[in-house]
Structure 1
Amino acid sequence: MVAVLFVCLGNICRSPMAEAIFRSQVSEAGLLNEVDIDSAGTGHWHIGKPAHDGTLGLLKQKQIAHDDLIARQVTRDDLKKYDLVIAMDEQNFSDLQNMRKVEDDVEISLLLDYLPEQRDKNVPDPYFTGDFEEVYALISESCENLLADVRNRWLVS
């Protein structure tokens, strides 16, 4: 079993979108029993709230399950529980690195590291840009590559 956590600022736009997209891809691959998937935010403003309407609307349009997307804040325990913590941008990556302790056996990376040809490694925040389609495209393609990496490195039989 490998545990993957997606992290953005408020956990209402990018990281819940990544959680839902990755869960859908993992499900299609028949690996739901082997991959634990969640999302969280570095900020506390939206704790307990559902994902942003723009995220929910796009996931519904793409027929991706999204019923259980409730915002929460990332905790120190998450850095012990999860094997892979995937940040949506460099600021969240930095915040996660600052939370990390030497003894934490967690791999922290940027989602767009899974798109090597992408020069800007920050997933734009549609809370500010309004462009949920662009974010969906970046996340979807990155998650496909993430799934291939998870299969190769974590689920090798």
Structure 2
Amino acid sequence: MHVLFVCLGNICRSPMAEAVLRHKISQAGLSDRISVDSAGTGNWHIGDPPHQGTQKQLNKVGISFDQIKARQVQPDDFQKYDRIIAMDRQNEQDLLHLARKVDADKVSRFMSLLPNHALADVPDPYYTGRFEEVFQLIDQGTDCLIEELKKQI
């Protein structure tokens, strides 16, 4: 099972989600069955490490972000990944536009993992600076996601 998280620049939300899910997969002993990556719909930060705020939050909770570098979504990602999870509605729409019709069913929005939450999107901490709030949402959502993935592998 291959999972791809997507946000705008791939330096805040999606690399945080990648690192958190990768950590949980490792703890569950599922690293050989589930892989995770992240990408951005934009190309501004290609090759950059996660944002300092993301790094600080992940360091605070002891989750590694080693080897995570920003990249842009590529057309072959729609064949490579089983689940492509957008961090907000705009990125979801951008992904659906990029996806061929046959691949659109792989695309979902992160907050669909938390259907009882008031937010529809994971807020972008690049603009708000609220990295801890974003971490809390990602932590909760990835708990739900890993349970879904366990049923599918």
Q: CA offsets, 1:18-75, max 9 Å, x none?
A: 0000001111111000001000000000001111000011111110011111000001
Query: How far apart in 2 are the matches of 1:97 and 1:5?
Result: 14
Gaps of at least 5 residues in structure 1 are none
Separation of aligned partners in 2, 1:26 and 1:148: 10
Q: State the TM-score, normalized to the length of structure 1.
A: 0.95
Residues 1:96 and 2:100 aligned together: no
> 2: distance between equivalents of 1:103 and 1:135?
31
1:46 paired residue number: 45
C-alpha RMSD of the superposition: 1.0
Aligned to 1:31: 30
- The match for 1:73 is 72
Hey, what does 2:144 align to over in structure 1? 145
TM-score normalised to the size of structure 2?
Answer: 0.97
Partner of 2:15: 16
Runs of 4+ residues over 3 Å off in structure 1: none
- What percent identity do the matched residue pairs reach? 48
Contact 2:96–2:104 (Cα < 8 Å) also in 1? no
Q: Give the number of equivalent residue pairs.
A: 153
Q: Give, as a single letter, the amino acid of the residue that structure 2 aligns with 1:85.
A: I
1:81: Cα distance to partner? Answer: 0.5
Structure 2: gaps (5+ residues): none
Alpha-carbon distance in 1 for matches of 2:62, 2:120 = 27
